C-alpha cells in the first residue's frame, strides 16, 4: 500500500500557507500545519476534514521558539519517521521604515522570524527529509531581495539571506534527492500585502489559492531542478490566471 506523503507547512493559518495546506490535502497528502493562531488552524483542520475525511496535524507555535522547532522535529520522527515535504510560508513583514530608524527590537524580531527560523527549520527537518524517497522543499522570497527600495531594507535583507542559505543547502543535500525550490509569488492578495500597500485594489491581484497548482508542481517528484528561484509571474500558472481574469471580464 502506497504511503501518503507527509508535508510540513508553516504559516498555514492564513494566506499562501493556508492555500498550500488545502492544496496539499486535496492532493492526498498528510498535512502538518503550524501557525501562531490556534483558532485559525482549527478552522483549517475543519476545512481539510470536510473534503479529505481525515484530520490535519495542527501545531500552534511561534517559529521564534527554536526549542519548539526541535521538539516538532522529534515528534514528527516519532510519528512518521520521515518528512516528504516542507513548505515554509511563514514570514514577518514588520514595519516598513528607513533602515536607520528601525529599533533593535524590531530588527532582531525580523531576523529571528524570517532568517534564523528558516535555518532552525533546516537544521531540525533535514534528518527527516533525507529519510523520504524524494523530498521536496519550498521557501518563499520577494522581489525586493533583488530590487531593493527605500523602507524595505530589513525585510529585503532577510529574504536575500534565505535565498542564499536555501541555495547552499540545496547543493549540500542534492545527493539525497531532496529538491529545494525558492518561489517568488509576486504581488498576491494577502493581508501582508494589504498592510504594505493599503491603498491597492487587491481585486486586481491573484489570490493565494491561485498559486496552488504552482505549489503542487514544485512538490511533485517530476520537479527535479534544485536550488532555483521560480517567479510565479513568469509561469504558465500565472498566465492561466490572467486568461481566467480576461474571460471573466
Residues of the chain with pLDDT > 90, as a percent, come to: 87
**Selected residue with higher pLDDT from 196 and 72:** 72
Q: What is the CA radius of gyration of the chain?
A: 17
- 188, 208 contact by CB (below 8 A): yes
pLDDT at 51 (0 to 100): 85
* Helix axis angle, 117-129 to 66-79, nearest 10°: 10
**Which fold would CATH assign to domain 6-248?**
Rossmann fold (3.40.50)
| CA atoms of 172 and 126, how far apart (whole Å) | 11
Average pLDDT of the residues in 56-75: 96
**Selected residue with higher pLDDT from 34 and 4:** 34
**Is it the case that residue 52 has pLDDT exceeding 90?**
no
Domain ranges in the chain are 6-248
Question: Would you place residue 244 in the very low, low, confident or very high pLDDT band (cuts 50, 70, 90)?
Answer: confident
Whether the predicted model's global pTM rises above the 0.75 cut = yes
What average pLDDT does the structure give for the chain? 94
DSSP annotation of 2 reads: P
DSSP string for 9-55: EESTTSHHHHHHHHHHHHTT-EEEEEES-HHHHHHHHHHHHHHHSS-
Question: Would you place residue 53 in the very low, low, confident or very high pLDDT band (cuts 50, 70, 90)?
Answer: confident
Question: Would you place residue 1 in the very low, low, confident or very high pLDDT band (cuts 50, 70, 90)?
Answer: very low
**Is it the case that residue 20 has pLDDT exceeding 70?**
yes
Amino acid at each position: 500500500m502506497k504511503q501518503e506523503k507527509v508535508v510540513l507547512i508553516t504559516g498555514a493559518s492564513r494566506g499562501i500557507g493556508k492555500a498550500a495546506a488545502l492544496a496539499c490535502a486535496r492532493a492526498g497528502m498528510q498535512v502538518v500545519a503550524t501557525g501562531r493562531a490556534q483558532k485559525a488552524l482549527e478552522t483549517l483542520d475543519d476545512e481539510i476534514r470536510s473534503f479529505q475525511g481525515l484530520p490535519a496535524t495542527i501545531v500552534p507555535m511561534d517559529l521564534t521558539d527554536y526549542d519548539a522547532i526541535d521538539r516538532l522535529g522529534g515528534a514528527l520522527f516519532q510519528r512518521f519517521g520521515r518528512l516528504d515535504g516542507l513548505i515554509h510560508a511563514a514570514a514577518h513583514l514588520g514595519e516598513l521604515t528607513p533602515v536607520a530608524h528601525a529599533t533593535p527590537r524590531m530588527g532582531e524580531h525580523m531576523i529571528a522570524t524570517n532568517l534564523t527560523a528558516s535555518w532552525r527549520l533546516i537544521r531540525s527537518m533535514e534528518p527527516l527529509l533525507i529519510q523520504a524517497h524524494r523530498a521536496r522543499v519550498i521557501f518563499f522570497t520577494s522581489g525586493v531581495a533583488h530590487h531593493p527600495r527605500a523602507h524595505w531594507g530589513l525585510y529585503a535583507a532577510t529574504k536575500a539571506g534565505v535565498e542564499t542559505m536555501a541555495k547552499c543547502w540545496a547543493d549540500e543535500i542534492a545527493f539525497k534527492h531532496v529538491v529545494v525550490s525558492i518561489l517568488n509569488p509576486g504581488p498576491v492578495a494577502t493581508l501582508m500585502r494589504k498592510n504594505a500597500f493599503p491603498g491597492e485594489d487587491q481585486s486586481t491581484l491573484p489570490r493565494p489559492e491561485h498559486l496552488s497548482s504552482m505549489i503542487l508542481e514544485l512538490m511533485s517528484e517530476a520537479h527535479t531542478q534544485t536550488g532555483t528561484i521560480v517567479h510565479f509571474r513568469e509561469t504558465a500558472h500565472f498566465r492561466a490566471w490572467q486568461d481566467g481574469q480576461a474571460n471573466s471580464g
